[in-house]
Amino acid sequence: MKTHIYPAIKITVVLLVLLAVIYPAVVWAIAQLAPNHGKGAVISYHNQKYYKNIAQSFTDETYFWSRPSAVAYNAAGSGGSNKGPSNPEYLAAVKARIDTFLKDNPEVSKAQVPVDLVTASGSGLDPDISVAAAKVQVARIAKARAMDANSLQSLVDAHVQKPLWGMFGPEKINVLELNIALDQMTEK
Amino acid sequence: MNTEIFGIVAMFIITLLLGLPLGRYIAKVYAGEKTGLDLVFQPMERLFYKISGIDPTVQMTWKQHLVALLTINLVWFLLSMAVLMNMGHLPLNPDGNPSMSADLAFNTSISFLVNCNLQHYSGETGVSYFGQIWLMFLQFVTAGIGMAAAVVIFKAFRDKTTTQLGNFYEFFLKSCTRILLPICLLIAAIFVFQGMPMTMEGKDTMINMQGDTVQVSRGPVAAFVPIKHLGTNGGGFFGANSAHPLENPNYLTNMVEMVAQFLIPMAMIFAFGFFIRKRKFAWMMFAVMTIGFLILTIPNIRMEVAGNPALAHMGIDTSLGAMEGKEVRIGAAASGFWSIVTTMISTGSVNSMHDSYMPLSGMNELIAMMVNAFYGGVGAGILNFFIFIILAVFISGLMVGRTPEFMGKKVEAREMKIAMIVALAHPFLILVGTALATAFPAQGASTLNNPGFHGFSEILYEYTSSAANNGSGFEGLGDNTLWWNISTGVVLLLGRFIPIIGPVAIAGLLAEKKFIPEGEGTLKTDTSTFGMMVFAVIVIIAALSFFPALALGPIAEYFSMQ
């Protein structure tokens, strides 16, 4: 043990320099070439800066809503509900969400309510919704904004993000980008 | 839905295609053969040896290896306690996060030291950037330790009869410099262009479109996440781990993170084959592991894609799958796939919340950690699989009435005793821990997030994850208490070092023995028959040890939902 303690300490110091100083410094340097210099992807709109990948709370009936969040959409923290699939309290909460959604969207039938709109995401910050979850909100928004539902429908279609390289993963829609486009459409 | 399945198949195939050449490269690195990267690394390593006063040509016995390994771990433990208990007033703390309490620092230090990364804190509020970078350092070096231990076993079977098993520091340093660091740099370079933050600035304030003010936690994420996966560590930068949209911004990063964590566990198997010049044996191992992997992963994907029947009964559209605790950009299929990879290879990072999985999916995650030998965390998986091989050799030997032999060495009483201790320690730690926490409701039941059978699963999962050095959790558990911090800390320590010391000792003891050339009656260990034997041993040990506990948790929950 004694013969090993000094080499152990010294090699630790050397590796600290390599792995905890040089390595992150190199990654930081590469990040300076990336969009927004490695400070996270942002979208600017009306002189406001939004994080593209962080979900926002949308409760107004004129906006597309995000998925439920277990952390109230505050990215100072993150996490899911961690409710088990058979937890009665959880099932009651989902049922309440479905009822609320149906009340706010009277044009929608129960069988059309997509599961992602009534279940909390893993991070509480999921920036996306499924295509079905956007479509099911079109009627409400069209009514609230007194817009043509068809043009709203094509706005949704234009914002569908295809799977990676057309091959891998699910389709999705970024709620923030869609809502900004929605506001821009009304402004015109 | 098809694109989700293609994504999974692609991740597996890419890993396999990269794993083969990487395995060859790893074998060359440890054998000291020439590689294209010598020009860069040789001078650097020579400098490191010189500063540290290490002579890498000194050969060590298996005992010396273990002493060196344990000593350096002790140094890191003490340093880690010092960092985590004082980081509140150290530099690089823009968010003003506090230092850890003694018991939380104890748990966190051990859990990062043993390559587990069970986290009883949340990254956003629980550690400073100084602390994060220290933890990232541990993610590098503990992966290096696991690999160094595996190489001792490689070495023991390469030479016919020997006590000289190479130099610990050489194996350890080369693992860090020649394998982990270059691959991490490549991965990090991909990540920063996909919107993963790499900044030392603290939380940002954002006013939402509807006028709410929220904060956005950031940090040096893109440096942290590559080694978190490549070293099969799994500790998240943020509380939500790889479900967090800044820690896993899109499907591409999800694929890269998946390949990164799966890569070395797979490559090490091929490296073993190249190193001991028995490639067919490596394929036998690969086949057994892959069959076990598929048996667990396919049902999980199916169950998560099918969705929660309780929600389907409510009459809504559940065609997206079981989305509670999952992210839309990743989807139910890739989440289910990840849940088994991460538990099987002992990474323990999550891209969805395991607590909200269907009961039997949760059971498969538990089984993956209970077996803890398929592929396996950096190095450690091979060590555990090795124990099962020894048991299979012994049982086969008894069946044909011959002295059991493995790789030309007689397996005798001493080796068998060690193998049995290692094989039984794992269920012992899990079941005794779970039983204790269940027996004292003030410590166990009061911290649960879910009632009934699922609550029991939360306790079982926490100890299984600790003993398997996995680090994922049924995170609803309120685990930052004195009881959980100390008890899982102890389980973590034993769960790491028993499976390192045992196999290294067996390999060392076997290496000293006289080599017996293969004869007519030798049991061939590179055949499918022997592969089935190993598989049977694994199933029997896992089933006999864990079935009663699983019946009380996930299986009972499954039937309660019918």
Residues B512-553 have pLDDT tens digits of 888 888 877 778 888 898 999 999 999 998 888 999 999 999
Instruction: For residue B303, count CB atoms less than 10 angstroms from its CB and return exposed for 0-12, middle for 13-18, buried for 19 or more.
Output: buried
The string of DSSP letters for A79-116 reads ------TT-HHHHHHHHHHHHHHHHH-TTS-GGG-BGG
Q: Chain B: give the shortest CA distance to residue A95, in Å.
A: 7
Domain shared by A59 and A93, yes or no: yes
Domain-embedded: residue B128: yes
Which residues contact residue B404 at a Cβ distance below 8 angstroms, ignoring those fewer than 6 apart? Answer: B393, B394, B396, B397, B398, B410, B411, B523
For the ranges B177-186, B248-257, B477-486, the lowest mean pLDDT is seen at B477-486
Domain shared by A59 and A143, yes or no: yes
Domain-embedded: residue B287: no
Rounded Cα–Cα distance for residues B87 and B155 (Å): 41
A176/B contact by beta carbon, under 8 A: yes
Which of helix, strand or coil describes residue B518?
coil
Interface of B with A in 442-481 (CB under 8 A): 449-455, 457, 474-476
Domain shared by A45 and A100, yes or no: yes
Q: Which of A31, A111, A183 is nearest residue B198 as measured by Cβ atoms?
A: A31
Cβ atoms of B265 and B232 closer than 8 Å? yes
Instruction: Quickly state the pLDDT bin for A1 (edges 50, 70, 90).
Output: low
Residue A141's pLDDT is 93
Following CA atoms B233, B236, B241, B246 in sequence, which dihedral angle do they give, to the nearest 10 degrees?
-120
Q: Chain A: give the shortest CA distance to residue B346, in Å.
A: 20
Residue B159's pLDDT is 80
Kindly determine whether residue A11 and residue B52, on different chains, have CB atoms separated by under 8 Å. yes
Average pLDDT over residues A88-96: 94
Chain A CA closest to residue B193: A34
Angle formed at CA B440 by CA B494 and CA B339, multiple of 5 degrees: 55
Angle formed at CA B186 by CA A122 and CA B376, multiple of 5 degrees: 60
Kindly determine whether residue A172 and residue B329, on different chains, have CB atoms separated by under 8 Å. yes
Q: Chain B: give the shortest CA distance to residue A151, in Å.
A: 22
Domain-embedded: residue B29: yes
Q: Report pLDDT digits (tens) over A126-150.
A: 999 999 999 999 999 999 999 899 9
**Residue A187 above 80 pLDDT?**
no
Angle formed at CA B76 by CA B436 and CA B373, multiple of 5 degrees: 55
Which residues contact residue A130 at a Cβ distance below 8 angstroms, ignoring those fewer than 6 apart? Answer: A114, A116, A170, A171, A172, A173, B320, B328
Which residues contact residue A97 at a Cβ distance below 8 angstroms, ignoring those fewer than 6 apart? Answer: A68, A117, A118
Average pLDDT over residues B496-516: 89
Average pLDDT over residues B244-269: 94
Instruction: Quickly state the pLDDT bin for B70 (edges 50, 70, 90).
Output: very high
Joined tokens for residue B469: 């050095």
Interface of B with A in 33-52 (CB under 8 A): 48, 51-52
Domain shared by A33 and A86, yes or no: no
Residues of B in contact with A127 (CB under 8 A): 245, 329
Domain shared by A137 and A164, yes or no: yes
Residue B523's pLDDT is 81
Kindly determine whether residue B122 and residue A91, on different chains, have CB atoms separated by under 8 Å. no
Kindly determine whether residue A23 and residue B181, on different chains, have CB atoms separated by under 8 Å. yes
Q: Chain B: give the shortest CA distance to residue A123, in Å.
A: 5
Average pLDDT, chain B: 91
Its pTM stands at 0.93
| A-interface mutation test, from B328, B356, B462, B474, most A Cβ less than 10 A away | B328
Which residues contact residue B89 at a Cβ distance below 8 angstroms, ignoring those fewer than 6 apart? Answer: B99
Domain-embedded: residue B347: no
Which residues contact residue B528 at a Cβ distance below 8 angstroms, ignoring those fewer than 6 apart? Answer: B284, B287
Residue A157's pLDDT is 94
Residue A172's pLDDT is 94
| A-interface mutation test, from B75, B323, B350, most A Cβ less than 10 A away | B323
Domain shared by A34 and A45, yes or no: no
Residue B376's pLDDT is 62
Domain shared by A85 and A116, yes or no: yes
Q: Report pLDDT digits (tens) over B281-328.
A: 899 999 999 999 999 999 999 999 999 999 999 999 999 999 999 999
Joined tokens for residue B554: 């996930």
| A-interface mutation test, from B324, B447, B456, B474, most A Cβ less than 10 A away | B324
Residue B36 DSSP class: T
Domain shared by A73 and A95, yes or no: yes
**Residue B57 above 80 pLDDT?**
yes
Average pLDDT over residues B501-511: 90
Residue B122's pLDDT is 87
Cβ atoms of A78 and A125 closer than 8 Å? yes
Number of Cα atoms under 13 Å in the Cβ half of residue B360: 19
Q: Report pLDDT digits (tens) over B104-113.
A: 999 999 999 9
SS3 track for B108-172: HHHHHHCCCCCCCCCHHHHCCHHHHHHHHHHHHHHHHHHHHHHHHHHHHHHCCCCCCCCCHHHHH
Rounded Cα–Cα distance for residues B513 and B507 (Å): 10
Q: Report pLDDT digits (tens) over B116-125.
A: 888 888 888 8
A49/B contact by beta carbon, under 8 A: yes
Domain-embedded: residue B261: yes
Joined tokens for residue B302: 């199916």
Interface of B with A in 226-245 (CB under 8 A): 238-240, 243-245
A68/B contact by beta carbon, under 8 A: no
| Among B538, B62, B504, CA closest to B285 | B538
**Residue B211 above 90 pLDDT?**
no
Domain-embedded: residue B7: yes
Interface of A with B in 106-125 (CB under 8 A): 110-116, 118-125
Residue whose tokens read 């592929």: B375
Rounded Cα–Cα distance for residues A125 and A120 (Å): 9
**Residue B380 above 80 pLDDT?**
no
Kindly determine whether residue B243 and residue A83, on different chains, have CB atoms separated by under 8 Å. no
**Residue B463 above 90 pLDDT?**
yes
Burial readout B261-300 (b: 16 or more C-beta within 10 A, e: otherwise): bbbbbbbbbbbbbbbbebeebbbbbbebbbebbeebbebb
Per cent of chain B over pLDDT 90 is 64
Domain shared by A20 and A113, yes or no: no
CA B428 to chain centre: 20
**Residue B379 above 80 pLDDT?**
no
| A-interface mutation test, from B180, B209, B300, most A Cβ less than 10 A away | B209
Q: Chain B: give the shortest CA distance to residue A108, in Å.
A: 11
Residues of A in contact with B358 (CB under 8 A): 85
* Number of other residues whose CB lies within 10 A of the CB of residue A4: 20
| Among B512, B522, B501, CA closest to B406 | B522
Domain shared by A28 and A63, yes or no: no
Q: How many domains does chain A have?
A: 2
Instruction: Quickly state the pLDDT bin for A67 (edges 50, 70, 90).
Output: very high
Domain of A129?
40-187
Chain A CA closest to residue B562: A86
| Among B302, B279, B414, B420, CA closest to B358 | B302
Q: How many CB pairs under 8 A join A and B?
A: 375
Kindly determine whether residue B195 and residue A35, on different chains, have CB atoms separated by under 8 Å. yes
Average pLDDT over residues B552-557: 94
Kindly determine whether residue A57 and residue B323, on different chains, have CB atoms separated by under 8 Å. no
Domain shared by A11 and A59, yes or no: no
Residue B49's pLDDT is 93
Domain of B173?
2-277
What backbone phi and psi angles, to 5 degrees, belong to A21?
Answer: -120, -60
Q: Chain A: give the shortest CA distance to residue B495, in Å.
A: 22
Joined tokens for residue B231: 């070293």
B553/A contact by beta carbon, under 8 A: no
Average pLDDT over residues B417-441: 93
Instruction: For residue A86, count CB atoms less than 10 angstroms from its CB and return exposed for 0-12, middle for 13-18, buried for 19 or more.
Output: buried
Instruction: Quickly state the pLDDT bin for B464 (edges 50, 70, 90).
Output: very high
Residues of A in contact with B137 (CB under 8 A): 15-16, 19-20
Residues of A in contact with B215 (CB under 8 A): 74-76
Average pLDDT over residues A41-61: 90
> What does the radius of gyration of chain B's CA atoms come to, in whole angstroms?
23
Domain shared by A129 and A175, yes or no: yes
Residue B85's pLDDT is 94
Q: How many domains does chain B have?
A: 1
Q: Chain B: give the shortest CA distance to residue A87, in Å.
A: 6
Domain-embedded: residue B137: yes
Domain-embedded: residue B307: no
| Among B327, B369, B328, CA closest to B352 | B327
Cα A141 to Cα A61, A128, A156, B521: the distances in Å are 6, 18, 12, 78
Cα B89 to Cα B112, B128, B134, B291: the distances in Å are 22, 9, 15, 50
Interface of B with A in 283-342 (CB under 8 A): 307-308, 310-311, 314-331, 334
Alpha-helical regions (H) of B324-451: 331-344, 359-371, 380-400, 413-439
Interface of B with A in 430-449 (CB under 8 A): 449
Kindly determine whether residue B325 and residue A82, on different chains, have CB atoms separated by under 8 Å. yes
